[in-house]
Amino acid sequence: MFRSSVAAAGTFLTRHCRRTSHGACGTGIRMFSSVSDPEIKVCIVGSGPAGFYTAQHLLKYHKSTVIDIYEKQPVPFGLVRFGVAPDHPEVKNVVNAFTQTALQVRCSFHGNITVGKDVSIEELKQAYHVLVLSYGAETNRLLGIPGENLQGVYSASSLVGWYNGLPENRHLNPELNNETAVILGHGNVALDIARILLSPIDMLKKTDITAHSLEALQNSKVKRVVIVGRRGPLQVAFTIKELREMIKLPDTRLLYDPSDFEGLKHTVKDLPRPRRRLIELMIKAALEMNSEKEAENRGAATKEWCLRFLRSPLQIIPSDDGKRVGGIRLSVTKLEGSAESAKAIQTEDIEDLECGLVLSSIGYKSHPIDPSVPFDQREGLIPNKLGRVLHAPGICPVSFSGWKKIDCFEVAKGKKAGKPREKLIMLDLVSYWNCQPWSPPSTWLVVSLLE
């Protein structure tokens, strides 16, 4: 019954507990659930969108279900907090619904707990009837080309985590001292990153972007962003919303090669409406490049961006000292097949592009959470739902009420800076809040957090 209702959230393990008179499993492990002896006890590992949507469904349609959500970060919401671009606050409104779910009496949130480290899958299987693994795909896909480890080459997820306040990416310190950045990939994340790199600082100051990344972007020398894809305009993965935002970006000119769109007008009419509108917008932007108004805008702009089609990375070219990025070598590709299913085939033609920053936005893959779990990469999803832990030494779980304290502090701090919130990053302060009676942290504690 439950297997079909939440299969979309990730890999699923189920096991019935043998209860003793002490309310524990037959193995002697104490029950993790926060409510004693419910009919169905469900543990969701991961508190991102998929995890919360799973919880919402179960709470609504299965009244005897009690849910515990485990999250390795001390704060909930996964990609909504750490993945959505700072200038897309409307997308983050979903946290209001997630909050209402977490506040229900049959649902408990437990942050700052890493499944597979602080608590094992086997322990969870003993404690719950149903275990939903919704912990996400957080490992980056590698380019697999020479020079990938040079300074100045980063994954898209690392940069996004850097400006969104993901603790492990706080000290990324990306190379922003060169005028040209190259982004590999034609998806929404690629356009999000390009927009953040080129947006006026006054626009970013009004978002919840982290203070350290805002300062770095304010001093950035990046003025040109080249967004590279292996295939053509018909195969791009970004949506029309992201494209419109890039086209309308202030003080920024768009560079298109009209030849990329030759012959597409006849093909476009047969495409599904969303895809057709997207391609028509690209064609329109390309054909209007030489209009008087566009020429005036291009002449006044200080920054520029372009979409580069039919190019595949061959090598990251090192700088003169051999340590940093000096450029990128691209293979010219050709398409085999038609429309969105066309495949890119490398040719012998190559092209070198000088740049000082390379960002790989070619997707993610999941990772095994525990040796006892059969690993299926296709099942891995980013949302995270976590259950209630035994309070083992060195483990300090963060409850949802603890998160609300963090939330209030972030919002209040952001209000003083004219922002929606100022994200706190370090885990020590979070643990302090959760394990001690609540009081506003002292100045030295906040300073140490942001250093």
Condensed to tens digits (0 to 9), the pLDDT of residues 145-189 reads 999 999 999 999 999 999 999 888 989 999 999 999 999 999 999
Q: Are residues 304 and 346 in the same domain?
A: yes
Q: Are residues 163 and 288 in the same domain?
A: yes
Select from 412, 429, 366, 393 the least CA-distant residue to 74: 429
Helix H or strand E segment including 353:
strand 343-354
8 Å CB contact between 100 and 74? no
Coil vs helix vs strand at 296: helix
| pTM score | 0.76
The predicted pLDDT at position 367 comes to: 66
Whether 132 maps to a domain, the answer reads yes
The predicted pLDDT at position 11 comes to: 41
- Which CATH number does the domain housing residue 218 bear? 3.50.50.60
Q: Are residues 249 and 383 in the same domain?
A: no
Residues counted in the chain: 451
The predicted pLDDT at position 19 comes to: 30
The predicted pLDDT at position 391 comes to: 43
Q: Are residues 78 and 123 in the same domain?
A: yes
Whether 317 maps to a domain, the answer reads yes
Separation CA 269–CA 339 (nearest Å): 12
Q: Are residues 333 and 344 in the same domain?
A: yes
The predicted pLDDT at position 151 comes to: 94
Phi/psi for 144 (5° steps) reads 70, 35
Whether 439 maps to a domain, the answer reads no
Select from 167, 168, 76, 161 the least CA-distant residue to 407: 76
Helix H or strand E segment including 434:
helix 427-435
Last-in-domain residue among 363, 385, 415: 363
In 220-272, which residue ranges form alpha helices assigned H by DSSP?
Answer: 240-247, 264-268
Whether 174 maps to a domain, the answer reads yes
Residues 6+ apart with CB under 8 A from 121: 13, 115, 131, 369, 370, 372, 373
Whether 400 maps to a domain, the answer reads no
Q: Are residues 65 and 183 in the same domain?
A: no
Q: Chunk the chain into consecutive blocks of 10 residues (it has 451) and report each block's average pLDDT, rounded to whole numbers.
A: 33 36 32 56 91 93 92 87 85 91 94 89 88 77 88 93 90 93 95 96 94 95 96 93 93 88 82 90 76 67 94 95 94 86 90 96 71 56 39 63 84 89 66 45 33 29
Q: Are residues 256 and 172 in the same domain?
A: yes
Which domain does 90 fall in, by range? 2-138+369-395
- Which CATH number does the domain housing residue 77 bear? 3.40.50
Whether 409 maps to a domain, the answer reads no
Total domains in the fold of the chain:
2
pLDDT tens profile 44-70: 999 999 899 999 999 999 988 999 999
Q: Are residues 129 and 158 in the same domain?
A: no
8 Å CB contact between 377 and 172? no
Q: Are residues 146 and 121 in the same domain?
A: no
